């Protein structure tokens, strides 16, 4: 793609070099996992802390002033000569879901790293501070609350989260302290509006649009908000062989009816999606009628009104199922994020950089949530999506991108960062 090299002449480096390095580093980070046969890297596990240490080493080697902060974000600053300069954040997350792909979050962290390595190599100083941040916890796997890392930097960390418990009953505060972190310092991480000049994030699309349209990158127009709930259904346990079907209050059967209702209701509108990602019968056994069933609900849409209408319909159906089956159903909302429009100014900055790279700018919404959402209202945010292979699959070991696309994204992002920095 000749245009890309021309567009980036000012920054040099042979074509493909950024992408090759990004893929190599992603492979190295994937070696740390909580499971032997795949990639799981959840908040403050041994694997998670090893990944943080490695990213910090790479940032230090790139000449960044680096620290692991009070929530285990890895923060590297490529400083401007003027200490009072404003700051541009280029970031994403390094934690993963269970049995994850190698690029969700990490592509954005490594792209930011490769950009500053390059600026350093060129001795190219910027009129703004460039903060590369690897957020420690975006997925919400261990403590059922997403964006812990970016919440802290955006000043949106609710201290009550520290009492959240993981599956083993460990509180977030205790796990942080065991990792040598001081929860009391979390408020000091919050950035002030006046010190920021913007937030940019590169992320895999986690969908099929760019793949189907033959585009390596796209510009995110808006990021869908979600409502996450945990549902507990209590019925009556009993002997699988002796309780007639007409006398049962089977918690798992009630849960199954709810799952199918969520699927039916969320199929009614194009951008509406509903997922029961966890479905668990505690102390279940083949010959016991489930007396209890625990499940999670995740409902999202391109606009909050459509999502909220679905959430209230699901709540009404929960009451109907409970009455019909003689079970009790408790649904507890654990997280709600509003849909976030990306900054038109930064979207056109990215679109211009994409066009200069000889690629048709394509704006598209994100069904997935991202750390960028936490900075809405604090500074302008924008995201650059990178094409996923294998039909766009993500949150799966089959997640895949190409080094060529990663290289294009890095060059486009570098172009955008340089132009944005000049406007500071
Ligand atoms: O769930 C999400 O949308 C993101 O992957 N955390
Ligand atoms: Mn994810
Ligand atoms: Mn992600």
pLDDT digits (tens, 9 = 90+) for 114-151: 999 999 999 999 999 999 999 999 999 999 989 999 99
pLDDT at 11 over 50: no
DSSP letters of 152-166? Answer: HHTT---GGGGG-B-
Q: For residue 3, is pLDDT > 80?
A: no
In degrees and rounded to multiples of 5, residue 222 shows phi and psi of -155, 155
Of 153, 164, 146, nearest to 73 by C-alpha is: 153
- Which ligand 1 atom sits closest to the C-alpha of 300? 3
Q: Distance of CA 148 to CAs 138, 233, 322, Å?
A: 6, 28, 34
Higher-confidence position of 4 and 302: 302
Q: Where exactly does CATH 3.30.70.360 map onto the chain? A: 225-337
User: What ligand is nearest to the CA atom of residue 92?
Assistant: 3
CA 48 / ligand 3 centre spacing (Å): 15
In this prediction, residue 14 carries a pLDDT of: 84
Of 148, 338, 370, best ligand 1 pocket probe by most atoms within 8 Å of the beta carbon? 370
102, HSE (Cβ side, Cα atoms, 13 Å): 19
Collapse the DSSP code of 322 into the 3-class scheme (helix H, G, I; strand E, B; otherwise coil) and give the result: helix
Instruction: Give the binding-site residues of ligand 1, using a 6 Å CB cut-off.
Output: 138-139, 146, 368-369
Strand-pair category, 288-289 with 238-239:
antiparallel
Query: In the predicted model, is pLDDT for residue 309 greater than 90?
Result: yes
Angle at alpha carbon of residue 62, lines to 388 and 93, rounded to 5°: 40
91-107 b/e with 16+ CB inside 10 Å = b? bbbbbbbeebbbbbbbb
Between the CA of 246 and the centroid of ligand 1 the distance, in Å, is: 41
Ligand 3: centre distance to CA 315 (Å): 28
Which residue among 43, 92, 95, 97 is best mutated to probe the pocket of ligand 1, counting the most ligand atoms within 8 A of its Cβ?
97
- Residues 242-264: tens digit of each pLDDT: 999 999 999 999 999 999 999 99
Distance from the alpha carbon of residue 370 to the mean position of ligand 3, in angstroms: 6
Residue ranges, CATH 3.40.630.10, the chain: 2-223+340-422
State the distance from the centre of ligand 1 to the C-alpha of 369, rounded, in angstroms: 5
**Given the CA of residue 146, which atom of ligand 1 is nearest to it?**
6
When pLDDT is averaged across residues 212-231 and rounded to a whole number, the result is 97
| Residue of 108, 140, 146 to test ligand 1 pocket, by largest number of atoms within 8 Å of CB | 146
Helices of type H across 195-250: 209-213
Q: What is the DSSP letter of 139?
A: S
- Indicate whether 6 pLDDT > 80: no
Spacing, Cα 198 to ligand 3 middle (Å): 19
Measured from the Cα of 206, ligand 1's closest atom is 5
In this structure, which ligand is nearest to the CA of 277? 1
Ligand 1 atom closest to 368 (CA): 3
CA-97 nearest atom, ligand 1: 5
Confidence of residue 424 (pLDDT cuts 50, 70, 90): confident
How much is the average pLDDT of 303-310? 95
Cα first-last separation, the chain: 30
Q: Which of 359, 352, 358 is nearest to 415 (CA)?
A: 352
Ligand 1 atom nearest to 298, measured from its CA: 1
* 297/424: higher pLDDT: 297
Q: What is the number of the ligand closest to the CA of 203? A: 3
Atom of ligand 1 nearest to the CA of 140: 6
**4, pLDDT greater than 50:** no
CA-derived radius of gyration, the chain = 23
pLDDT at 301 over 70: yes
The token duo for 58 is 């790479």
Is residue 273 within 8 Å of 299, Cβ to Cβ?
yes
> So what's the pLDDT on residue 15?
84
pLDDT averaged over the chain? 95
- Strand pairing of 74-78 and 129-135? antiparallel
Report residue 13's pLDDT band, with 50, 70 and 90 as the boundaries: confident
Pocket test for ligand 1, best of 277, 395, 399 (most atoms within 8 A of CB): 395
| pLDDT for residue 392 is more than 60 | yes
- Residue with CA at minimum distance from ligand 1 atom 4: 369
**CATH architecture for residues 225-337:** 2-Layer Sandwich (3.30)
Residue 337 pairs in a beta bridge with 226
Each residue's pLDDT tens digit, 72-125: 999 999 999 999 999 999 999 999 999 999 999 999 999 999 999 999 999 999
- The rounded distance, in Å, linking the Cα atoms of 290 and 255 is 10
Asked if residues 201 and 372 have their Cβ atoms less than 8 Å apart, the reply is yes
Alpha-carbon distance values, 365 to 159, 203, 247, 274, 362 (Å): 31, 13, 48, 17, 10
Cα of 410 from ligand 3 centre, angstroms: 17
Q: Does domain 2-223+340-422 have CATH number 3.30.70.580?
A: no
Task: Name the nearest CA neighbour of 49 among 134, 130, 131.
Answer: 134
pLDDT given for residue 88 in this prediction: 98
């Amino acid at each position: 793609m000749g245009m890309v090299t021309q567009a980036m002449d000012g920054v040099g480096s042979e074509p493909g070099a950024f992408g090759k390095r990004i893929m190599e580093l992603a492979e190295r980070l994937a070696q740390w996992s909580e499971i032997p046969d795949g990639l799981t890297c959840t908040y403050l596990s041994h694997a998670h802390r090893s990944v943080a240490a490695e990213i910090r080493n790479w940032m230090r080697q790139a000449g960044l002033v680096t620290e692991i902060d009070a929530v285990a974000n890895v923060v590297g600053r490529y400083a401007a000569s003027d200490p009072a300069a404003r700051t541009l954040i280029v970031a994403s997350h390094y934690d993963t879901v269970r049995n994850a792909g190698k690029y969700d979050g990490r592509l954005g962290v490594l792209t930011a790293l490769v950009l500053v390595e390059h600026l350093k190599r060129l001795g190219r100083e910027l009129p703004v501070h460039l903060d590369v941040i690897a957020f420690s916890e975006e997925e919400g796997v261990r403590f059922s609350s997403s964006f812990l890392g970016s919440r802290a930097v955006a000043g949106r960390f609710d201290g009550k989260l520290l009492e959240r418990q993981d599956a083993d009953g460990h509180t977030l505060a205790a796990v942080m302290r065991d990792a040598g972190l001081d929860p009391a310092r979390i408020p000091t991480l919050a950035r002030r509006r006046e010190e920021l000049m913007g937030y940019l994030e590169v992320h895999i699309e986690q969908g099929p649009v760019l793949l189907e349209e033959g585009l390596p990158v796209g510009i995110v127009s808006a990021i869908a908000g979600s409502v996450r709930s945990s549902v507990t259904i209590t019925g009556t346990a009993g002997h699988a062989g002796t309780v007639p079907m007409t006398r049962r209050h089977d918690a798992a059967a009630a849960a199954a009816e709810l799952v199918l209702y969520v699927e039916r209701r969320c199929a009614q509108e194009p951008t509406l999606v509903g997922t029961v990602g966890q479905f668990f019968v505690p102390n279940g056994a083949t010959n016991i009628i489930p007396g209890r069933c625990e499940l999670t609900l995740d409902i999202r849409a391109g606009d909050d009104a459509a999502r909220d209408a679905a959430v209230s319909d699901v709540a009404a159906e929960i009451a109907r199922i409970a009455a019909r089956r003689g079970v009790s159903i408790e649904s507890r909302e654990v997280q709600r994020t509003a849909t976030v429009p990306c900054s038109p100014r930064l979207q056109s900055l990215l679109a211009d950089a994409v066009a200069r790279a000889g690629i048709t700018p394509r704006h598209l919404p994100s069904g997935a949530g991202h750390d960028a959402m936490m900075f809405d209202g604090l500074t302008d945010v924008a995201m650059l999506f990178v094409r996923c292979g294998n039909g766009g699959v993500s949150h799966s070991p089959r997640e895949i991108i190409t080094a060529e696309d990663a290289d294009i994204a890095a060059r486009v992002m570098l172009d955008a960062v340089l132009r944005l920095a000049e406007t500071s």
